[in-house]
Chains A and B, each alone.
Chain A
């Protein structure tokens, strides 16, 4: 009898954990070294190893352990209002100033980051900030269905809305909301020569079927011509530690 009670409680707890997308994401303890100043709106990611890619995805690093130096990365995707303060002719709906900036080419994204003393993140930096130091598939660790309502079409949200979907370093918007420009070219083993150097990597958005919307795993690599600008594509900045 006790055994069945235990099993019942276990099942109830498991189901409630799996279904509760609002549970808090466990955060890694990070100590910022003396002499390093973390600007407002950025997160310090310490130097060290992490697992990059997935063994079943041949266009990734297959789950290899990669080292990064310490770096800073924006906690949120770049907002429309913030970007418009840099590029005053950027046209957007004023009621959506805290939504992610969209319709931005790679060059425009890079220009913004450089103007603020930063740069676009590398793929390794982006993936580490998204997954931390374990081999999790989702920044928030557990799998959830995206809570779309069957509506087919991109639904951007305010960049600071989803505190239940943050990464273990407290970074928002990695795996949902807009895709983000990455500094690296899109390259992979066996790639056709004509394709090499033609595309930039974009990371962390949604994929869609007819009437469903899905999160993308932390290691999922998408690609885009650098001159493209689309309403599902934005960016965030990173910065090296001097």
Chain B
């Protein structure tokens, strides 16, 4: 009998999330160490799109990567990378707006959460969703928030698979939330009946909710000049809105 990674993941999903191996223990923690290896993902102010990472990270080895979906659902599932391309793909151009005040725009392609929900069938009590990543990061959302049409589980950016810097193989894009909510390197999706805190609420001054507030944005594609924003997803006068095609 052939027992490859995918078979393992599928068998694994039937056991539920409780038996998930703790991947985070294997991740070197460089948060308080400036001498981390150069090949690690780190904070870089790259022209056009800054890179931010809570913990310097080597990136995902795709043969060791899998997505496990469980918690309060009827049908826990697990996916390999190639399985995710079985979902209907949607694309959109939207901004990632950082709490540091800058924003950057890209074309994102991925699947909608509603398609995944249909497969795993959450219990009525599952009002919240926790997401965990391969780099020890974690986020939490209201289920309703992830079901919004502009929220994507993203596999491609600007026409190419996500790069290591941007969360390969799978990241979230929720354009009405600050960048720190847009978790990269997703490995686990768990439906729950109570809200959990997120990484930055536990480690810094940022809210669990993370909805973009009215204020000022400094878009990188506008030479960081200050522009007013009204709250929620950021659209500047030179951005196309979804209903403008």
Contacts and interface: CB of A to CB of B under 8 A. Distances in A.
B232 A230 contact: yes
A228 B207 CA distance: 20
Nearest to A195: B237
B211 A230 contact: yes
B99 A206 contact: no
A219 to B, nearest CB: 15
A209 B65 CA distance: 37
Interface in B84-123: 99-101
Contacts of B99: 152, 210
Contacts of A155: 207
Q: Chain B: interface secondary structure? A: loop
B42 interface: no
Given A208-B215, A209-B101, A210-B99, A233 B231 contact: yes
Contacts of A197: none
A151 B230 contact: no
Contact of A179 (B205, B209, B214, B244): B214
Contact of B231 (A192, A211, A222): A222
Interface in A206-242: 206-211, 222-224, 228, 230-233
Nearest to A224: B230
Q: Which of B206, B209, B216, B231 has the most CB atoms of chain A within a 10 A radius of its CB? A: B231
Given A91-B127, A222-B214, A150 B209 contact: no
Contacts of B206: 151-153
**Contact count band on B:** 20 to 34
A210 B217 CA distance: 10
Nearest to B101: A210
A192 B236 CA distance: 13
Interface in A53-92: 91
Contact of A206 (B208, B214, B232, B237): B214
B176 interface: yes
A205 interface: yes
**Contact count band on A:** 20 to 34
Interface in B186-245: 205-211, 213-216, 230-232, 237, 244
A4 to B, nearest CB: 43
Contact of A154 (B205, B207, B216, B230): B207
A208 B205 contact: no
Interface string B149-164: 0000000000000000
B122 to A, nearest CB: 15
Contacts of A233: 231
B102 to A, nearest CB: 10
List of 8 A-B pairs having minimum Cβ-Cβ separation, nearest first = A153-B207, A208-B213, A207-B215, A208-B215, A207-B214, A151-B205, A222-B230, A231-B211
Interface of A: 91, 103, 150-155, 179, 192, 194, 202, 205-211, 222-224, 228, 230-233
27 contacts: A103-B144, A151-B205, A151-B206, A151-B207, A152-B205, A152-B206, A152-B207, A153-B207, A153-B209, A155-B207, A179-B214, A202-B230, A205-B214, A205-B231, A207-B213, A207-B215, A207-B216, A209-B216, A211-B205, A222-B214, A222-B230, A223-B230, A224-B232, A228-B232, A230-B176, A230-B211, A231-B209
